[in-house]
């Protein structure tokens, strides 16, 4: 069973690349963003709390996100592996997630980090907002807050996974196909 984390700032193309990984490598895609949006749409208590945080460009608490991820893994016991998109986002989440995977006899095979500039983040999120009608992607101050939050809370994961020799960077400036070709080479190298 192979488990990969796809990592990068908002708008880096994590979801797009994760879908390609699912098709090529028969993995199950777990997007915490999609899970949270489903909770919001369903109007659950968790969804209402998440919506208030997301609307301000803030992260949802670690415990809530980990609970969603655990539930998703438990619902797919026959999966040949997972690609985690947008998770973990903090070192606290990463540590708790690692303990959980170890309790199942699993581990993360690699962290694939898609690197793009803050300017590209702004451009891509504005573009995505128009295409997908995502209200949380339409305001500049919210996007800037998400970028700031990413740098402050998520980038420390780089050192966390570098120490475990699981962290790998991919240049995210280019076509979807070019970026996926680089990811495929990396996955094949990590899967040997």
Instruction: Establish if 22 belongs to a structural domain.
Output: yes
Instruction: Label residue 41 exposed, middle or buried (CB < 10 Å: 0-12, 13-18, 19+).
Output: exposed
Instruction: Read off the pLDDT of each residue in 8-32 and give the average, rounded to a whole number.
Output: 93
CATH, residue 21 = 3.40.50.300
| Residue with the larger pLDDT of the pair 1 and 181 | 181
pLDDT tens track for 54-82: 877 777 888 889 989 999 999 998 888 99
- 51 located within any domain: yes
Domain membership of residue 6 (yes or no) is yes
The band of 136, judged by pLDDT with boundaries at 50, 70 and 90, is low
Does residue 192 fall inside a structural domain? no
Residue 115 within a domain = yes
Number of domains in the chain: 1
Residue 25 lies in a domain: yes
User: Does the residue 174 lie in any domain?
Assistant: yes
Query: Rounded to whole angstroms, how far apart are CA atoms 41 and 36?
Result: 9
Note the pTM of the prediction, 2 decimals: 0.84
Structural domain including 127 reads: 2-187
């Amino acid at each position: 069973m192979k488990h990969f984390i796809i990592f990068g700032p908002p708008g880096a193309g994590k979801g797009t690349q994760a879908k390609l990984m699912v098709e090529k490598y028969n993995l199950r895609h777990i997007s915490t963003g999609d899970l949270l949006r489903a909770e919001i749409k369903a109007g659950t208590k968790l969804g209402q709390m998440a919506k208030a945080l997301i609307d301000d460009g803030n992260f949802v608490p670690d415990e809530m996100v980990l609970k969603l991820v655990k539930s998703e893994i438990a619902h797919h016991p026959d999966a040949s592996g997972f690609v985690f998109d947008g998770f973990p986002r903090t070192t606290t989440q990463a540590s708790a997630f690692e303990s959980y995977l170890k309790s199942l006899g699993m581990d993360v095979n690699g962290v694939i980090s898609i690197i793009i500039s803050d300017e590209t983040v702004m451009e891509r999120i504005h573009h995505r907002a128009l295409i997908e009608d995502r209200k949380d992607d339409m305001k500049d101050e919210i996007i800037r807050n998400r970028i700031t939050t990413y740098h402050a809370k998520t980038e420390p994961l780089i050192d966390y996974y570098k120490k475990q020799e699981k962290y790998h960077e991919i240049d995210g400036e280019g076509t979807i196909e070019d970026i996926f070709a680089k990811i495929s080479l990396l996955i094949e190298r990590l899967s040997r």
